[in-house]
Chain A
Amino acid sequence: MDDIIFGLSSWPRAILHLDGDAFFTSCEEVIHPEFKGKPLITGAERGIVACASYAAKRMGVKRGVSLRDARIICPGLILLPSDYETYSLFSRRIFTIMRRFTPDVEEYSIDEAFADITGLRRPLRSSYEAIARNIKTEIQRDTGLTVSVGLSVTKVLAKVGSKRRKPDGLTVIPGRAIASHLWDLPLEKVWGIGPATTAQLNKLGIRTALEFARMPERAVRRQLTKPGVEIWQELRGQSVCPVIAEEKSVYASISKTKTFAPATADADYLFAQLLRNLESACLKARRYKLAPRRLTFFLKTNDFSYHGCEARLNRPSAYTMELSEPAREAFLSIFRKGTYYRATGVVLMELGADLPVQYSLFDDPVRADKVRDLYEAMDEIARRFGKHTLHLGGSHLIEVAGKGKRGAATAREATQFFGETKRQHLGLPILHAKV
């Protein structure tokens, strides 16, 4: 069964998927060499395991386990707070190394990326497999991190490859060898196939990726929607999802959520948090010249239930000042006195270009223009002096009462070089090599 051939050409395209191995803890091991090879987890500030090192995984500590349970499973476990700044610095380095080989790099998440290396065999004077191996080697040499790489003819198959051998693996799936990598792969392990699709296809007797790839096209189109059909095509070696190298600038919605600790029932503080999320979301919307027509506000209670409320705007606006009134109305309708909340969030929806603007009869158009000028100035100040340097009075309480971050500060946060401020850091991870 594994000798079925989906394509005659071995490399119609060459797409590579790279996946960091236990990325957060690996970063910690790099900057704390003394932890190398020890059972280690990050996420101490959240109370659950965000990432477990391979040593910890071997002891049975999994992602999402509570710290209490993790300590029971693995005595002597090292708990570290998440240091996202450092992780993102490492992440940026990995992507930069990939760009030494090809400009077509799609940053998919903090520790995952796709790269299109089609046609680079001649300029780089090596086979696709050698290129993949070189990328891996250079990443390990320059950052000390190991990654797992899948190389194949489509994104979905490259992803199958990178999962195949972990950690520090390299799996090559040329067009002719697709079937041999799919026959034993459970359907739900395929990228993009969720529990609902799995259950649906299981009912038809389709349990492995190969069985799915061998379904007739008519049946696939009848059973699944467009994304499902695309996965089917990609599994068969037809590349339909290109590697998108540009930074994402088209958004269907923008959301900002912040969890703080301890949970609070203080209305003013909660509203300040909510407004700050709104400020952050609007800042992002303005950066992409977008403005929302609809807003959703929500509060998350201490027992993890969400309470939300929606507001529709008369005209699109990404100026927090104009949105603070709907925000307050929404907040008052959700907030219950005496209830403890642990997070607030804002979603901007129905985003559209913020031009042209239909003037409104009952607003003062002169004021609207002034607000725009004001925010242009505010955004300039934010660029120079850091986000939220200038903010609404309603969110000022955060600056006074604290952002609600819990646990010990990370090494990077605790250290300030000469001339650094809390907002403006040099992009350097701090090494804690004990000499």
Chain B
Amino acid sequence: MEFHIDRNVFLEGVQKTLGIVERKSIVPILNNILIRTEEGRIKIVATNREIGLISRYDAQINIPGDITISALKLFEMIKETQDDTLQFIKNEQHQVTMKSGRAIYRISGLPADLYPQVLEVDEIPLYKVSGADLANLVRKTSFAASTDEMRANLTGVFFETEASGEDGPPRMKMVATDGHRLSSALGPVGSAGGLVLEKGIVVPRKGMEEIRKIAEAEEAVWIGVDHGMFVMKTDNLTIKVSLIDADYPDYRRVIPKNKGVLAIFSRDVLLHALRRMGVVSNENYNDVVIELSDGRMALSSNNPDVGEANDEIAVSYNGGDLTNTYNVRYVIEAIKAVDEEEVSFEINEGMKPGVIMGVGNDDYLSIVMPLKLKE
């Protein structure tokens, strides 16, 4: 096996696999990616058995063949080379030699036939959507997904389509929640490009993040569902993510209908103030007391182990004075997902959830349940 390839193309191709292959698996081959020559190009395959990635890059093939090799080591090697092209050779003993100018790397690989299979996607209907739209929805929701493996259905991002108005073209919608907070984002009208997911699918958070990274850089991507996998294709690459086979809770039920006290803030001012509180707050609950009174918002955080923090922001709000306690990390993450300059934070009394939105944008919504501080 021997080929020549553009250094930057190869570097980017290998980099895309780093989030997928495992770093320190006890099964060594799962730390590897598979490289196989095709006509005038190479194919790179990466998988952790939940996410599969197949990508193709132009290369000058001299001798066909295949090999698997540590993704991380290969990436680090390519990154430190300086020449424009790389020569990649594999011998009979599965040893890889990579040359860049006078620099020579030698590294052992493992035979390709031991690598877990990642099947090419069958002829299934795929729908063209904007890469930026898709990436945006993931960015605005995935942070709220649970990391608790005991609640498998909440560890993913719920993805469905919603008709816009009466029989309008469907648009994409994503929702994520860990049971304490929830984020929901809608794409622009027609963003689903004809895809209809009536019942919705649950895509693992990690897989969604990989999809976001790839979609971000693409103008258009093609998406679809195939055999329990969410599939996304670009011109040279296919990524498949195994869906979580579990029912998603009825999230519409928890979006509050009655309004609390609506306060409008400058996004950055509020973020900075919250971060100041976060420095001292308790690391398990991150509790911060938010108090609305006399046309200002007072923030305070008190942690016997560390100390306390206090701050005030000017704010316009409708309604009476109010105090509640929130996990500051949840509030910060919800506000970070807002693109608008102004944030609306609807604060409720007692155990009713707070609602965070961007001013002038109804498509993004984040709900945060308060904390109960014992008297």
Residues of A with C-beta under 8 A to B353: 359, 361
- Assess whether A401 is interfacial by the CB under 8 Å rule: no
**Which of chain A's residues has its CB closest to B282's CB?**
A356
Say whether A359 contacts B177, CB under 8 Å: no
Residues of B with C-beta under 8 A to A366: 351
**Which of chain B's residues has its CB closest to A360's CB?**
B179
Say whether A359 contacts B370, CB under 8 Å: yes
Say whether A362 contacts B284, CB under 8 Å: no
Question: Among residues 319 to 373 in chain B, which have CB atoms less than 8 Å away from a CB atom of chain A?
Answer: 325, 327, 350-351, 353, 367, 369-373
B contacts with A, residue count (CB < 8 A): 25
The CA of A314 and the CA of B181, in the complex, are separated in Å by 13
Task: Write the A281-321 contact mask toward B (1 if CB under 8 angstroms, else 0).
Answer: 00000000000000000000000000000011010000000
Contact pick for B373, options A312, A355, A362, CB 8 Å: A355
- Assess whether A225 is interfacial by the CB under 8 Å rule: no
Knowing A311-B150, A312-B150, A314-B148, the reply to whether A358 touches B249 (Cβ < 8 A) is no
Question: Among residues 174 to 226 in chain B, which have CB atoms less than 8 Å away from a CB atom of chain A?
Answer: 177, 179-182
Knowing A314-B151, A352-B284, the reply to whether A359 touches B369 (Cβ < 8 A) is yes
Say whether A361 contacts B254, CB under 8 Å: yes
Say whether B372 contacts A361, CB under 8 Å: no
- Assess whether A72 is interfacial by the CB under 8 Å rule: no
- Assess whether B285 is interfacial by the CB under 8 Å rule: yes
- Assess whether B257 is interfacial by the CB under 8 Å rule: no
Residues of B with C-beta under 8 A to A362: 179, 249, 254
Knowing A311-B150, A356-B287, the reply to whether A361 touches B325 (Cβ < 8 A) is no
- Assess whether A204 is interfacial by the CB under 8 Å rule: no
Say whether B287 contacts A360, CB under 8 Å: no
The CA of A175 and the CA of B353, in the complex, are separated in Å by 65
Residues of A with C-beta under 8 A to B351: 359, 365-366, 369
Residues of A with C-beta under 8 A to B179: 314, 360-362
**Which of chain A's residues has its CB closest to B284's CB?**
A352
A contacts with B, residue count (CB < 8 A): 15
Say whether A359 contacts B254, CB under 8 Å: no
Contact pick for B371, options A312, A314, A358, A361, CB 8 Å: A358
Residues of B with C-beta under 8 A to A359: 180, 351, 353, 369-372
Residues of B with C-beta under 8 A to A361: 177, 179-182, 254, 353, 367, 369
- Assess whether B227 is interfacial by the CB under 8 Å rule: no
The CA of A365 and the CA of B349, in the complex, are separated in Å by 13
The CA of A358 and the CA of B178, in the complex, are separated in Å by 12
Chain A nearest Cβ from B258, distance in angstroms: 15
The CA of A358 and the CA of B328, in the complex, are separated in Å by 12
Question: Among residues 362 to 394 in chain A, which have CB atoms less than 8 Å away from a CB atom of chain B?
Answer: 362, 365-366, 369
- Assess whether B102 is interfacial by the CB under 8 Å rule: no
Say whether B373 contacts A356, CB under 8 Å: yes
- Assess whether B374 is interfacial by the CB under 8 Å rule: yes
Knowing A314-B179, A352-B284, A365-B351, the reply to whether A358 touches B148 (Cβ < 8 A) is no
Knowing A312-B148, A314-B148, the reply to whether A358 touches B367 (Cβ < 8 A) is no
Residues of B with C-beta under 8 A to A358: 180, 285, 327, 369, 371-372
**Which of chain A's residues has its CB closest to B253's CB?**
A362
Chain B nearest Cβ from A68, distance in angstroms: 46
The CA of A355 and the CA of B372, in the complex, are separated in Å by 8
- Assess whether A250 is interfacial by the CB under 8 Å rule: no
Task: Write the B252-295 contact mask toward A (1 if CB under 8 angstroms, else 0).
Answer: 00100000000000000000000000000000110100000000
Chain B nearest Cβ from A374, distance in angstroms: 16
Say whether A357 contacts B151, CB under 8 Å: no
In order of increasing CB-CB distance, the 4 nearest A-B pairs are A365-B351, A355-B374, A359-B369, A312-B150
Interface residues of B (CB under 8 A from A): 148, 150-151, 177, 179-182, 249, 254, 284-285, 287, 325, 327, 350-351, 353, 367, 369-374
A-B contact pairs, 14 of them (CB 8 A): A312-B148, A312-B150, A314-B151, A355-B373, A356-B325, A357-B371, A359-B180, A359-B372, A360-B179, A361-B181, A361-B254, A361-B353, A365-B351, A365-B369
10 further A-B pairs in the complex, CB-CB below 8 A; given A358-B327, A361-B182: A312-B150, A356-B372, A357-B372, A358-B180, A358-B369, A361-B179, A361-B353, A361-B369, A365-B350, A365-B372
Interface residues of A (CB under 8 A from B): 311-312, 314, 352, 355-362, 365-366, 369
